Amino acid sequence: MNIDKKIADDLVANDISFVTTVPCKQLAGVIEEIDQRDDIFHIPSNKEDEGMGLCAGAWMGGKRPAIIMQNTAIGVTINTLATLIQFYRMPLPMIISYRGELREPVACQVEMAVHTKALLNQLNIPTYHFHWQRDVEELDNILKYTFMCSKPVAILTDANFWGGYGDQ
């Protein structure tokens, strides 16, 4: 299975047409895939809170948005998640590369990994963790759930899911 293609297919099938990204090595393939899709407008942002602002605007303009980012960005976006996305009750699927988990080669990444689920939990953000490739089968349901409840929802995708950081 090509998970990059599967993720992009699920976004399109759920009418998500506005995607902002800040890259992570693990996300390179899916970002490239999204760039090639005619039915998705891809707008790179310079910081993830900026990206969430873009998504909020796009949603109010009638488009379904998504953000693709690294888990370290949870540290960047807490204020935006609480005071914009949650306070105004907006849906936002967050496809997040979960660095610092099993098969991670860079020690510094572990420092935010250990806080990631605790922070999401503290924010009452529904959180899913993709560890095996087959976990991607849940994505379609998660996207539907996100727009049903109008909340930010986190999908953490670790190195094992992506086939290993070093050997992908």
Partner 1 sequence: MIRSEILKEIAPILRDQLVVCNIGIPSQELHAIDDQPTNFYMLGTMGLASSIGLGLAIAQPKTVIVIDGDGSVLTNLGTLPTIGNNAPANYILMIIDNGSYGSTGDQPTYTGMKTDLAGMARAAGCDNVVEVQDVDTGAALQAAIDGGTATVMVVKCDSGNAKMPVITMDPVVIRDRFMKSVAG
Strand ranges (E), the chain = 16-21, 41-44, 64-70, 92-98, 127-130, 152-158
Choose which of 34, 52, 73, 94 interacts with partner 1 (CB under 8 A): 52
Q: How large is the greatest C-alpha to C-alpha distance in the chain, in angstroms?
A: 42
User: Which position among 88, 122, 124, 149 is part of the footprint of partner 1 (CB under 8 A)?
Assistant: 88
Q: Toward partner 1, which CB reaches closer, 21 or 97?
A: 21
Question: Which residue from 19, 24, 34, 55 is in contact with partner 1, where contact means CB under 8 A?
Answer: 55
Count CB atoms within 10 A of the CB of residue 156: 23
Least distance CB 35 / partner 1 (angstroms): 14
β-bridge pairing 152-158 and 41-44: unpaired
Indicate whether 152 belongs to the interface with partner 1 (CB under 8 A). Answer: no
**Does 59 help bind partner 1 (rule: CB under 8 A)?**
yes
DSSP β-bridge partners for residue 51: none
Which residues sit at the interface with partner 1, rule CB under 8 A? 18, 41, 43-47, 49-63, 65, 79-80, 82-84, 87-90
